[in-house]
Structure formats: structure tokens, C-alpha cells
Amino acid sequence: MANEHKLGALDKRWLKFDLIIIDELGYVQFSKIESEPLFQFFAGRYERAASVIDNY
């Protein structure tokens, strides 16, 4: 429960930025459990602010 609260606060803080660039995400392997917070992060930004993922 405490971790969910921290993630919610973190998401709100990141929404203050108009653009977030994620670089070299393809170099890291995530399990399903590990990838869920990342998915929630991008889902929360959807239609609110821009996100770019660069895998080159």
C-alpha cells in the first residue's frame, strides 16, 4: 500500500513535464511484475503529456 502511494505521487510529479524521453529501455529485460509500474506510468501520461521511447 505504501509503495502504491509513492508511485502515485511520482506519477503526479512526472505529469508536470510536457515531454518525457526514455532512452535505452530496450537494453533492460522486465518480468511481468516489473513491467506493470512502467505500463501504469505511460498509461497515466496518455493524452495528458508526450512521451518518447528511444531504443537506438
pLDDT digits (tens, 9 = 90+) for 17-46: 999 998 887 777 889 888 888 888 888 888
pTM across the whole model: 0.65
Q: List phi, psi (to 5°) of 48.
A: -115, -35
Buried b (16+ CB within 10 A) or exposed e, 7-19: eeeeeeeeeeeee
Secondary structure of residue 51 in the 3-state scheme: strand
DSSP structure string for 3-39: HHHHHHHHHHHHTTSSEEEEESGGGS---HHHHHHHH
